[in-house]
Amino acid sequence: MTDAKLIDGTVFSGKLRETIASRVAEMKGKHRITPGLAVVLVGEDPASQVYVRTKGKRTVETGMNSFEHKLPADTPEDSLLLLIDSLNKDPAVHGILVQLPVPKHIDTQKVIEAIDPAKDVDGFHPVNVGRLAAGMDALVPCTPLGSLLLLKDNLGKLGGLDAVVIGRSNIVGKPMAQLLIRESCTVTIAHSQTRDLPSVVRRADIVIAAVGRPEMIKGDWIKPGATVIDVGINRIDLPDGKTRLVGDVDFASAVKVAGAITPVPGGVGPMTIACLLRNTLVACARQHNLPEVE
């Protein structure tokens, strides 16, 4: 059997960002509106700092305004909520993202619920969660949305396919399952208490791995020809003292069986930021009653 086709998220996300940039230019030219994304970082977590820097850079590259708010780790919850309130009211800001995790003294759910659902480009506000579940227009979490775009680009229509989502987090697993239901897949959601996970995975035409366990899903769990989307990002130690990024899927064995598979890195990862930009553009268009961007 030949190796699976590689689903290249770097190339796809690059094209998506180009499309977004041309829509932004159109919005500026025709309507004199510049979409704006505010990103709030509380504390100095090194990984979060890198994410926030990359998000700001990509936002500016597409011609949007980027507003970065870096707050010290000991910022009181009230001060953060006040900042969110002022961003909610700021007409130059169309999307608001508070980089998670926030320090322990801050209630994450309170922060999520403080963001105006119309500006909630992470799609975590209960209003957007509910709208997605009800099949209404919603701002959809970026990582599952990016995974769906890769799936559709690769498979076309998804209706009738068996999909297994491994992981049921609010950020990835649950919204991913909702999106696949919306595409008329038959969806199974697996988690840490699922019995006989290999046989559950083996019946799937589409496997979404969002577990956070390095290389857990083995090639012999995969139905031959299935499409595998590996959301996992795990850093593992190598014997020579270096580290390496791996997904939740054991790529070396899965690539021999799957029909198509995302690599880690270079698969879902770059789609997440591209979808954040897309959500900002969509939020801006909706706030100004302009036609939606696909």
Query: Per the annotation, does 168 bind a ligand?
Result: yes
Q: Which is nearer to ligand NDP, 75 or 178 (CB)?
A: 178
Query: Per the annotation, does 233 bind a ligand?
Result: yes
Query: Per the annotation, does 169 bind a ligand?
Result: yes
Binding ligand NDP (rule: CB under 6 A), the pick from 213, 218, 256, 286 is 213
Q: How far is CA 135 from the centre of its chain?
A: 19
Q: From the candidates 55, 119, 174, 223, give the one annotated as an active-site residue.
A: 55
Q: Is 237 a catalytic residue?
A: no
CB of 115: closest distance to ligand NDP in angstroms? 18
Binding ligand NDP (rule: CB under 6 A), the pick from 140, 145, 210, 228 is 210
The reply on whether position 141 binds ligand NDP by CB under 6 A is: no
Binding ligand NDP (rule: CB under 6 A), the pick from 87, 190, 249, 283 is 190
Binding ligand NDP (rule: CB under 6 A), the pick from 131, 168, 218, 256 is 168
Q: From the candidates 120, 122, 230, 248, give the one annotated as an active-site residue.
A: 122
Q: Is 153 a catalytic residue?
A: no
Residues of this chain that interact with ligand NDP (CB under 6 A) are 143, 166-169, 171-173, 190-194, 197, 210-213, 231-234, 248, 268-269, 272
